[in-house]
Structure 1
Amino acid sequence: MTAPLDPVALTAALIRCPSVTPEEGGALQLLERELSAAGFACTRVDRGGIANLFARWGARGANRSFGFNGHTDVVPVGDAAAWTQDPFGAAVVDGWMYGRGATDMKSGVAAFVAAAVDFVRETPPDGAVVLAITGDEEDVATDGTVALLDWMARNGERMTHCLVGEPTCPERIGEMMKIGRRGSLTARFAATGVQGHSAYPHRAKNPMSALVKLMARLEDKPLDEGTGHFDASTLAITTIDCGNPATNVIPAKGKATVNIRFNDAHSGASLTEWLQGHVNAVQQETGVRIEMAVSISGESFLTPPGDFSALVRAAVQAETGVAPDYSTSGGTSDARFVKDHCPVVEFGLVGKTMHQVDERVEVAQIRQLKAIYSRILRDYFA
């Protein structure tokens, strides 16, 4: 009998792959070998210099097809000298495994790969198990999960439900799962006025004054008070700058940027229209020309609580003794793309150290996460 696939060893092997976005680093090659050996049909879906892996056990287009989604790319190490352990060494110290991607999210990928491999070997389901693993989640994400979903659509592949294995728990494993996410919009403003001497401001048109007025208008009132499943939307000014080294010169140009995290009371289009209205008002008031460029990395979405979220919640509670809260908090994830394909929820480990120096994961939690994912698979196909 084949021994169960150890998620801890697999996590360590993945951490040792230096897969800093956009480098594949050997991580997907490693997973393809493991999954192919377990009978999964594997396809590399590379696009735009990004490596992605699609793996399916069972028939294409099965009536029930459970999917896992995750990523093997990681953010840069930062100051390597500040780490107490090798960022790509997967050292285990006092029950914690250290390494870039240990939490976000090579442990999650290892847990669902191990759960899927053991599940199809031990209790082959009436249906399909799909793994959609990308190397482009930490960057612009245009050629990662999106490329996988595009390829699936062209090739008749489908998931009837999907679980994204991102870290979701603030302090303790089991306490939170995601049933939606806020949208994210970034607006960049470029103001052009008339340069002049600071002693004679009436002879100039100060773009910085116009930008300050615009920022004050945008922050003047809350966007909303929250909705049924979402906290209030937020707007943050992230920069105002003109690069002017002189203290006695009013600059000709200035720039500012805001980031909005928005709930389901808004859309990217409605917020863009709202922003443009304020831009028009400030231009008219000041005579300074302001150009705006908007990028939307994802719309808000919600998977309404129902049978699928209840199944995941029950499995988590059975393995941890904790019934996770349904949440839509946090940043964006690739679930924002999957939601256009099928119902999607997220559940994973505690994410306190992700992207930090000395990123680490509690070894016992990796095994616990595999047990949760295994139970979800058993219950889904029961």
Structure 2
Amino acid sequence: MGVTPIDPVKLTQALIQCPSVTPDDAGALAVLEQALCPLGFACHRLPFSQAGTPDVDNLYARWGTRGPNLCFAGHTDVVPVGDQAAWRHPPFGAEIENGILYGRGAVDMKAAIACFVSAAARYLQKHGDTFVGSLSFLITGDEEGPALNGTDKMLDWLVANGETLDACIVGEPTNTDALGDTIKIGRRGSLNGFITQRGTQGHVAYPHLADNPVPKLVKLLSVLTEQPIDHGTAHFQPSNLEVTSVDVGNLATNVIPNAAKAVFNVRFNDTFSSTTLKDKLTDMLVGAGDNFELRFEVSGESFLTPPGKLSDVMVRAVQKITGLTPALSTTGGTSDARFIKDHCAVAEFGLTNATAHKVDEHARVDDIRQLADIYFEMISAFFEAPSP
């Protein structure tokens, strides 16, 4: 099959040079289409809207019409650059110095997208004439933002249009110290809690005429934090609750406030669903105080893709290229895999994450080329491995 090879480094540079800070696409998806269409991928631009949120453009591209369908999921949107003057290289210049490629999105995660495109081109060049499965890309512009007009809505579109994913690799930067040390097979859930403890405002010199909410709030927080929520599971570390804000909005030193507020976040393992966790936290505070309000917001559920065919082929590919045996981990924050897990087996592998979201975000050129080789081996192993 006459497929032109794609240089993953050059494609990474072209993507970085699109300043696609959420929700702006800035031409990044067009760069991808220009790479995928000549390979024979059918490309679908999927813009989505929701009241109160920015419109977002997305891309689904597929080569082949038969299963199994191995999908690569990622995002072309990036976080803001911060203080541009602090960057040694222009954040959207994609400059290479001493074997290092600098630019916003180099790690998180434009290089991974470019590497999978390169790997797909290489696989199709080698097997396109006999390949009967499918390769696809699920690329959003709303991962670093509210995540309301991106992957979740794209998955609904796939279902409505008869598209089926059999397995998915997400290109988030998973590795800690070296390329090949970590594959993510799950993620903890994320739950935000908001406590408002009410009181009665008054003069500090006459506390008997007031009701100070601050000590009561401190007691509630102590109840939440003094004991572990759980002790972890086979694949997850213990859930952890962190208090992230305490505020009374009081500018006076001689006034007892009428309310005190706190915010906390729980990163929870598969001991709980968000519903059962909310019930547990609510039960913990019953009897610990009164006249307070507790409400929750859920950012994502915990999930696990049990070790199996997908993780096996990914591990073998990493071992073949790097010589390392990656840990199967569930650490870190949330990702769009939390949406994909309801549709197919999903696991994550990308570059090292040390400079993600930082000033002078960068990736080693050698790592980019090696990641493309790993993805090629993952594709090859997936379609050559026997069905479970």
Give the TM-score, by structure 2 length: 0.94
1:338/1:344 contact within 8 Å kept: yes
Distance between the aligned counterparts of 1:210 and 1:278, measured in 2?
Answer: 15
Write the distance in 2 (CA, Å) between the matches of 1:292 and 1:93. 52
CA contact (8 A) 1:195 1:250 kept: yes
In 1, Cα distance between equivalents of 2:360 and 2:138: 28
Match of 1:96 among 87, 100, 106: 100
- Pick aligned residue for 2:73 from 69, 75, 80: 69
Partner Cα separation in structure 1 for residue 30 and residue 107 of structure 2: 20
Alignment RMSD: 1.2
Match of 1:311 among 310, 313, 333: 313
How far did residue 290 of structure 1 move? 2.0
AA paired with 2:267?
A: R
Map residues 71-220 of structure 1 onto 2, 5 A cutoff. Answer: 71-124=75-128, 125-220=131-226
1: CA distance, partners of 2:72 / 2:162? 17
What is the CA-CA distance between 1:2 and the residue it aligns to? 4.7
Question: Cα offset for 1:51?
Answer: 1.1
Counterpart of 2:12? 11
| Amino acid corresponding to residue 132 of structure 2 in structure 1 | D
User: What's the CA shift for 1:378?
Assistant: 1.4
SS in structure 1 of the partner of residue 287 of structure 2:
helix
Q: Contact between 2:21 and 2:78, CA under 8 Å: does it hold in 1?
A: yes
Deviation, 1:211, is: 1.5
Letter in 2 for 1:247: T
Alignment match of 1:348 (pick from 328, 347, 350): 350
Given that 1:126 and 1:381 are in contact with CA atoms closer than 8 Å, whether structure 2 keeps it comes out as no
Q: CA deviation at 1:281?
A: 2.6
Identity across the alignment (%): 50
Unmatched tracts of structure 1, length 5 or more: none
> Aligned to 1:224, what secondary structure does the other structure show?
coil
Contact 1:105 1:166 in 2 (8 A): yes
| Partner amino acid, structure 2, of 1:202 | H
* 8 Å CA contact 2:321, 2:370 repeated in 1: yes
Indicate the residue corresponding to 1:363 in structure 2: 365
Question: In the aligned structure 1, how far is the partner of 2:205 from the partner of 2:120?
Answer: 71
CA-CA distance at 1:344 after TM superposition:
0.6
Which SS does the other structure have where 1:130 is aligned?
strand
Q: 2: distance between equivalents of 1:28 and 1:81?
A: 28
* TM-fit CA distance, 1:202: 2.2
Separation in 2, partners of 1:107, 1:281 = 52
2:280 maps to 274
One-letter code aligned to 1:185: L
Q: Secondary structure in 2 aligned to 1:162? A: strand
Q: In structure 1, what is the Cα distance between the partners aligned to 2:199 and 2:277?
A: 26
SS of the residue aligned with 1:163? strand
- Name the SS for the 2:20 alignment partner: coil
Q: Quick one: which of 259, 271, 293 aligns to 1:265? A: 271
Any runs of at least 4 consecutive aligned residues in structure 1 with deviations exceeding 6 A, and if so which?
A: none
